[in-house]
Every structure is written in structure tokens, then in C-alpha cells.
Amino acid sequence: MTTTTTTTPEAQLEANKAVMRRYIEELWNQRNWDVIDEIIDPSYRSEPPSFPGEWGIAELKENCPPFMAMYPDGKWKTLDMVAEGDRVACAWEFNATHTHDGMGIPASGEKVRVLVIGIYTINNGKIVSLRKLNVGVDFFTAFGLPQPDPDAA
């Protein structure tokens, strides 16, 4: 006897949102960098608004740890999450104190609050792309630093 399982559209939307909860909680808040391989597709592409150029999975692995090391008390909070089809839109708030040097930026001791909205595409339980925008202020502006040169990427 063969049993087939069918995922309802509602169940798929909830599964996609579960991927995003892992992304924010396990990857960013718990700083479990190994989860990248579990929830990010090898073909992943994004254009982070605070940094020049396109990122793939290699850039994510390279830049996430030193970025978060600059903010040891940094926490991401999910403000809203909406799923439709293969996309999940998320609004997040990042609160932290910039206490460590990193990524060419000296520690400022300043408190940072950045709002981020991202639209993620998910396929087979993995994030394949991200379109993201910082609301109001990006990380460089928050520190009074010049924007990075987009041609330097």
C-alpha cells in the first residue's frame, strides 16, 4: 500500500515561516553559524542594504560572525511576518551596543536601533533569495560613518 502525503498551502506557508523563525533565532540571535547550511540554499543571493554588492552563501558565512561580534548584546526581534506562496516578508528590529571593532569599523560604544524589512524566497525549506531594506537608518549612518563605496565590492 502506497501512502502519499499532500502538503496543504496553509501548511507550506507555516513551514516557510518556521524557516524564517530559525533564521532569526538560531542564526542571528543564538549565533549558530552552522544553521546556514541547514536553511540557506547554496544558490542563495541577496543585496544587503548596509554593504555593497551581492552576497551569496559564502559572503553570508564570511560576514555574519564578524558583524555580530561587533554587537555582543545584539538581539533581533520579529515585529511582523507574512507569508504568501514561496515568499515570506518579515519586519525586524535590531537593538545593540557597538562595543567591539569589526569589519573596518572601530567600536563606538553607541546604542544602535535599526529596523529591517526583508522579502525572502523559500524553496524546499531553504532560503534562496533576499530583498532587504533598512528603514530610516542603516548601520553606517547609525555610527556617522561614510557609506561604503559600491564599486569596492
Statement: 9-144 belongs to CATH 3.40.50.2000: no
- pLDDT per residue as tens digits for the range 23-52: 999 999 999 999 999 999 999 999 776 666
Candidates 88, 86, 85, 40; CA nearest to 61 is 40
Query: Taking the chain (153 residues) in consecutive chunks of 10 residues, what is each chunk's mean pLDDT?
Result: 71 96 96 96 85 84 90 96 96 93 86 89 96 69 60 53
Task: Cell 553570508: give the residue.
Answer: 60
Domain residue ranges in the chain: 9-144
Overall pTM surpassing 0.85 (yes/no):
no
